[in-house]
Amino acid sequence: MTADLRTYLAHVELPNPVLTASGCGGTGRELAQFSDVHRLGAFVTRSITMAPRAGRPTPRMAETPSGLLNAVGLQGPGVEAFLERELPWLAERGARTVVSIGGGTVTEYTALARRLAGVEGITAVEINLSCPNVEDRGRVFAREGAAAAEVVASVRAATPYEVPVIAKLSPDVADVVAVARACVDGGADALAMINNPIGMSIDVDTMRPSLAAGTGGLSGPAVRPLAVRCVWQVHAALPGVPIIGMGGVTTGRDALELVLAGACAVAVGTALFHDPYACPRVLRELEELLQERGFDRLADAVGLAHRPAGAQPRTRTDLEESSL
Amino acid sequence: MAGSPVQVTGTVLTTRRVDAYHALTVVAPGIADRFRPGHFVTVAVGGRNSSMLTRRAFTIHDVKPDYGGTVELVFGVRGAGTAWLADLRARDTLDLVGPLGRPFPLPRDPCTCVLVGDEHGAAPLFALADALQQRGCRIDFVLGAPSADRVFGALRARRMGETTTLTTEDGSLGMRGTVTDVLPGVIADARADAVYACGPMVTLRGVTAVAAEFGIPVQVAVEESMACGIGVCMTCVVPVIGDDGVTRMVRACTEGPVFRGERVRFDDVGTIPFDALGAPGGRHA
């Protein structure tokens, strides 16, 4: 017996819940050397920007205990080159592609959404809200509900109704539930969390910051408890909204933890740097863990940790149905 | 690229000390089969449940057909990851991914090549020398390091090369100075047609400048810190001029590590040149 691992992002069905995290799967070609991209629940692209971007100077990466600091700066070829060279390749391979978009202004996000509208082979659009807002002294959109909702609303309006819009949230906020609620009110069909919290490391030999950019996003198992907390809080407040959980998932056990907290899909990020086979492995491990616990559907496990203490472990109520 | 890379759990066959360095021979048939000089591998360090998330990249020093195929890596202990590797014993297992990267291009016709290696950067040069000699090329070695115990592969170079010039910064072996100090003389004496170089950026920059003076092609293998080695993390970028004349931040792991020396903007490594594609405020933005 195999468990039913199908999951839904709004109305879009994915055959399994394991995705790549934005910015961690390259163009897809790099991972395809190791395993098929169409076997992923979905392939999430790096954040695509309007114009080509050279990114940040090196060093861009510093290893920290169970974590990784990075400041890549959204290096990419720009939306036109992406649509010309990268998306068709993914579509050809049968990958379900979630296109992540990043911009410095609401106008840029909207322009990107318009450019992507109607393009074949886009399963969903994910909005990377952790970009500095150049119109607001470089503060990131995700840090405040109104700024995030403005981007979400304009992208939602420019995107065809059959393509779900996912808002990716940052944990670096006072109240993640408030930002999540604002995004959903703005029209987000699903939420993704967490983006990298900002960290810093200093090289004690050179006595300078380890990264050229000074600060960088922290990822890896070091941030997993943060991800579990955010998913838990948002799922508790908005049980009907699909959540893609991410942050330090390296094994099926980690994926199940996020699922129990309320995520209906899980993205694997930094683990791909360590193990290019991480996605199929996490999926296999997750399936085994679900079976061991007697689940025949992934959906039955979503948010299950929220049940009151002492309740039956598998109360198959229609409540879970809503978070499909 | 010769085939696609594979991930294997290799068994350590031997470990040995080579002067200041450690050498590790690992049984990895899938990698040895596909190997071409200049390829590298990445290894996961710290074992299962390691807190070290990035893979360590090493050039392949040698491959041998024993046990279906082995690869040998040479490294110096620089941090917790390499210290863990240095503690491995025979029969331990090691997670390897490879072969990765763009190998050294080889000349079509026999010619004279100078192979320059700084410290253990010299490791990949011997497999390259083998391949070149099979094509009837003459090889001259220039190997350097800060001190005698850190000059890698001097004996093997003497055996393989027409001439071998050694340099140390403290004068404890060979000529006092750096490889770039002696390189013009070696190129002139050998009437060299091409240069291959491995080592730190500053050495590669010097070697490229010398080769440019002589107007001969130079292939350099860059050492840039990597997290994944397969092209997904975007941390190992260097500014390189493309065929179209446009500078791009390219990944040392997939577009490199071997580049034509004159294409690498060594002076701008560690920055985003203002005229690079997509540079902030640049004309392409």
Q: For B178-201, what is each residue's pLDDT tens digit?
A: 999 999 999 999 889 999 999 999
A1 — pLDDT class (breaks 50, 70, 90): low
pLDDT of residue A203: 93
Q: Which of B11, B15, B20, B45 has its CA nearest to residue B229?
A: B45
Q: Examine the fold and report which residue of B201, B221, B241 is the final residue of a domain before the chain moves on.
A: B221
Say if residue B90 is in the same domain as residue B35.
Answer: yes
Q: Which pairs count as long-range contacts for B87-90, CB under 8 Å and 24+ apart, including other chains?
A: B88/B12, B88/B15, B88/B24, B89/B12, B89/B15, B90/B12, B90/B13, B90/B14, B90/B15
Say if residue B192 is in the same domain as residue B238.
Answer: no
Instruction: Report the C-alpha gap between B108 and B188 in whole angstroms.
Output: 22
Average pLDDT of A302-308? 91
> Total domain count for chain B?
3
pLDDT of residue B285: 42
Say if residue B80 is in the same domain as residue B136.
Answer: no
CATH number of the domain that B164 lies in?
3.40.50.80
Q: Which of A285, A283, A279, A281 has its CA nearest to residue A30?
A: A279
For residue B284, pLDDT over 80 is answered with: no
Task: For residue B81, give Cα distances in angstroms to A59, A92, A160, B45, B99.
Answer: 18, 39, 49, 6, 20
Instruction: Report the C-alpha gap between B242 and A208 in whole angstroms.
Output: 32
| Average pLDDT for chain A | 91
For residue A324, pLDDT over 60 is answered with: no
| Average pLDDT for chain B | 89
Measure in Å the smallest separation between the Cα of B182 and chain A Cα atoms. Answer: 31
Strand partners, A200: A215
Q: Burial of A201 by CB count in 10 Å (0-12 exposed, 13-18 middle, 19+ buried)?
A: middle
- Element of type H or E holding B187: helix B179-190
- Binding site for FMN: which residues of A? 22, 128, 168, 194, 220, 247-248, 269-270
Say if residue B193 is in the same domain as residue B235.
Answer: no
User: Is any Cβ of chain A less than 8 angstroms from the Cβ of B57?
Assistant: no
Q: Taking CB atoms and an 8 Å limit, are A60 and B54 in contact across chains?
A: no
Chain B residue nearest residue A50, CA to CA:
B285
Write out the two tokens for A244: 């893609």
Say if residue B233 is in the same domain as residue B215.
Answer: no
Q: Is residue B1 part of a domain?
A: no
Q: Burial of B51 by CB count in 10 Å (0-12 exposed, 13-18 middle, 19+ buried)?
A: middle
Q: Taking CB atoms and an 8 Å limit, are A68 and B227 in contact across chains?
A: yes
Q: Is residue B26 part of a domain?
A: yes
Q: Is the ipTM of this structure higher than 0.95? A: no
Q: Is residue B107 part of a domain?
A: no
Work out the end-to-end distance of chain B between its first and last CA atoms, rounded to an integer number of angstroms: 32
Measure in Å the smallest separation between the Cα of A317 and chain B Cα atoms. Answer: 36
pLDDT of residue A322: 53
Task: For residue B9, give Cα distances in angstroms to A66, A303, B226.
Answer: 22, 36, 20
Contact A236, A305 (CB under 8 A): no
Q: Taking CB atoms and an 8 Å limit, are B236 and A72 in contact across chains?
A: no
B233 has binding-site annotation = yes
Q: Taking CB atoms and an 8 Å limit, are B54 and A212 in contact across chains?
A: no
Query: Can you say whether residue A294 is alpha, beta or left, with left for phi > 0 and alpha for psi between -120 and 50 degrees?
Result: left
For residue A313, pLDDT over 90 is answered with: no
- For residue B12, the tally of other CB atoms under 10 A from its CB is 18
Strand partners, B113: B139, B194
Say if residue B161 is in the same domain as residue B188.
Answer: yes
| pLDDT tens-place string over residues A191-208 | 999 999 999 999 999 999
Chain A residue nearest residue B232, CA to CA:
A26
Chain A residue nearest residue B96, CA to CA:
A275
List, in order of start, the domains of chain A with CATH numbers: 7-322 (3.20.20.70)
B2 — pLDDT class (breaks 50, 70, 90): very low
For residue B91, pLDDT over 70 is answered with: yes
Q: Taking CB atoms and an 8 Å limit, are B230 and A276 in contact across chains?
A: yes
Strands B112-118, B194-198: pairing is parallel
Instruction: Report the C-alpha gap between A69 and B54 in whole angstroms.
Output: 11
Buried b (16+ CB within 10 A) or exposed e, A50-74: bebbbbbbbbbbbbbebbbbbbbbb
Among A35-49, A220-234, A298-312, B79-93, the minimum mean pLDDT is found in A298-312
Average pLDDT of A11-33? 92
Q: Examine the fold and report which residue of B77, B100, B123 is the final residue of a domain before the chain moves on.
A: B100
B120 — pLDDT class (breaks 50, 70, 90): confident
Q: Is residue B285 part of a domain?
A: yes
Using CB atoms, which residue from A52, A57, A271 is nearest to B270? Answer: A57
Chain B residue nearest residue A58, CA to CA:
B270
Q: Note down the domain range covering B41.
A: 6-100
Say if residue B16 is in the same domain as residue B69.
Answer: yes
pLDDT of residue B114: 94
pLDDT of residue B198: 93
Say if residue B131 is in the same domain as residue B159.
Answer: yes
Measure in Å the smallest separation between the Cα of A220 and chain B Cα atoms. Answer: 8
Contact list in A for residue B252 (CB cut-off 8 A) is: none
Instruction: Report the C-alpha gap between B211 and A261 in whole angstroms.
Output: 60
| pLDDT tens-place string over residues A74-107 | 899 999 999 999 999 999 999 999 999 999 899 9
Active site residues of A: 131
- For residue B216, the tally of other CB atoms under 10 A from its CB is 18
CATH number of the domain that B88 lies in?
2.40.30.10
Say if residue B216 is in the same domain as residue B155.
Answer: yes
For residue B1, pLDDT over 80 is answered with: no
Say if residue B65 is in the same domain as residue B49.
Answer: yes
Contact list in A for residue B285 (CB cut-off 8 A) is: 51-53
Q: Which residue has the tokens 């690498």?
A: B264
B237 — pLDDT class (breaks 50, 70, 90): very high
Using CB atoms, which residue from A30, A61, A75 is nearest to B227? Answer: A61
Using CB atoms, which residue from A52, A273, A277 is nearest to B55? Answer: A273
Contact B166, B172 (CB under 8 A): no
Say if residue B235 is in the same domain as residue B183.
Answer: no
Residue B212, amino acid? A
For residue B233, pLDDT over 80 is answered with: yes
Q: Is residue B105 part of a domain?
A: no
Q: Examine the fold and report which residue of B221, B246, B275 is the final residue of a domain before the chain moves on.
A: B221
Using CB atoms, which residue from B225, B227, B278 is nearest to A273? Answer: B227
Q: Taking CB atoms and an 8 Å limit, are A54 and B55 in contact across chains?
A: no
Say if residue B10 is in the same domain as residue B54.
Answer: yes
| pLDDT tens-place string over residues A113-149 | 999 998 989 999 999 999 888 888 888 898 889 999 9
